[in-house]
Amino acid sequence: MMWRDGEVGGVRRIWGSRPRRCAELVVEVTRAPAGADTLLAGTVVRAVAYETLTGLPEVGEAVRLEVSALARGLGTGGHAMLAARLSVLPEDPAPGGHLVKARYMPDQVMVTGVDEQDTPHHRLLSAPVGTLTLGGVPVVVADLHSSLPAVVAGVRAGAAGGLPGRGEAAPRVVYVMTDGGALPLPYSRTVAALTGAGWLAGTVTAGQAWGGDVEAASLHNALLAARHVLGADVVVVAQGPGNLGTDTPWGFSGVACGDAVNAVATLGGRPVACLRVSQADARDRHRGVSHHSLTAYGRVALAGADVVLPELEETGDGLAARVRRDAQGLCGPREGQRHRLVAVSTSGLREVLEAAQRQTGLRLSTMGRGLEQDEAAFLAAAAAGRHARSLLAGATGRP
């Protein structure tokens, strides 16, 4: 870990809602360790502060920062992270649960889990294995956090192609955030925007992730809570911001998508596999259908899922054919293949995604590329949402 002291010079933005807000601060470094050769006194950095952990500091406060990822120029975790307010000792939180997340870290956080003893839903979640199920509810599994708004837009639009207006009925979508990326859900401006726009009915943080409307010890209980506590019609499972990859076949956080498919099927849900697709990634292993999806769904998932093939327009670059070939490889006649290939039209989804940006204030972005630069990535996610919407009648009786 690399530590710096600093003084808060300003607040760039605050998002989320009390008491789980997140702030991006401007901090001037005032002290660095002897022998440091970077981020020295006088350097101005952007720092993230979590209200849950430290409270939000005022301008002029002295703070301590952890800066290792920032010093190395990493995209994942590449901010200065506010670890302590040196002149303010935050008040103790109100007594609550005993579920500890980010366990044994100095900034571990204690939350009330939906599944812990002496809580209202413990009895529900204590039902014997096999008696409490998802009841066929569609669950979209996605690799990247950046897919979330496009998936939700596809759910809301459905086959009709247009987004519902204010006050119009739409499916209740609940987001389950796993712990493959960021652990604090409040870090996500995407979730804050979707929640503020009324596009998410709630959030659940699973495993070591924390900060959702509901906390759960495991992905399985997170899924059950999404359905039976928050009343989800459709669930979306994805890691938080900050996908991790190592350019090795198995060394990426999205491998957990296969585990998520298994969990959904075990609990009686309908797994919908959202393919990670790109037309613009400079790395060939992520062009067409990413090797992340091919490995997670093709090798890790032991249960069958609906693999959504977005019907992309043939543009002469071979992308549509490559995506189709890759997806068919997941669902072909090979021995042991479990998945079902579902071709979904992308007609009208570009307009839906543009409208989604206007209605939520979000700019769609994946690996720094927007809708103009990597349209296929967002169309694939929206198509998965569209397919999930088509399954609702069988799962919940809703149109």
In 3-state terms the chain splits into helix, strand, coil percentages (rounded to 5) of 30, 25, 45
pTM of the model: 0.95
pLDDT per residue as tens digits for the range 170-210? 999 999 999 999 999 999 999 999 999 999 999 999 999 99
Query: Is it the case that residue 399 has pLDDT exceeding 50?
Result: no
- Cα–Cα distance measured from residue 65 to residue 72, given in angstroms and rounded to the nearest whole number: 15
Given this model, what pLDDT does residue 131 score?
96
- Cβ 236 vs Cβ 174: under 8 Å: yes
Buried b (16+ CB within 10 A) or exposed e, 5-32: bbbbeeeeeebbeeebbbbbbbbebeeb
Mean pLDDT, rounded, for 161-168: 75
What six digits make up the tokens of 12?
Answer: 């760039």
pLDDT band per the 50, 70, 90 thresholds, residue 324: very high
Residue with tokens 């809708």, as numbered in its chain: 371
35/395: higher pLDDT: 35
Work out the pLDDT band at 365, boundaries 50, 70, 90.
very high
What pLDDT band is residue 334 in, cutting at 50, 70 and 90? low
Coil vs helix vs strand at 362 = coil
Query: Which of the residue ranges 40-44, 272-276, 311-315, 388-392 would you say has the lowest mean pLDDT?
Result: 311-315
Mean pLDDT value of segment 217-240: 98
User: Residue with structure tokens 């890691």?
Assistant: 239
Helix (H) or strand (E) holding 154: helix 148-157
By percentage, how much of the chain surpasses pLDDT 90?
84
Give yes or no for residue 20 having a pLDDT over 90.
yes
Confidence of residue 336 (pLDDT cuts 50, 70, 90): low
Specify the pLDDT at position 190: 97
Q: What number is the average pLDDT over the span 35-53?
A: 96
3-state secondary structure 211-232: CCCEEECCHHHHHHHHHHCCCC
Residue 160 confidence (pLDDT) above 80:
no
Q: Band the pLDDT of 396: cuts 50, 70, 90.
A: very low
| Structure confidence at residue 398 as a pLDDT band (50, 70, 90) | very low
pLDDT of 295 > 50? The answer is yes
Q: Tens digit of pLDDT for each residue in 341-357?
A: 999 999 999 999 999 99
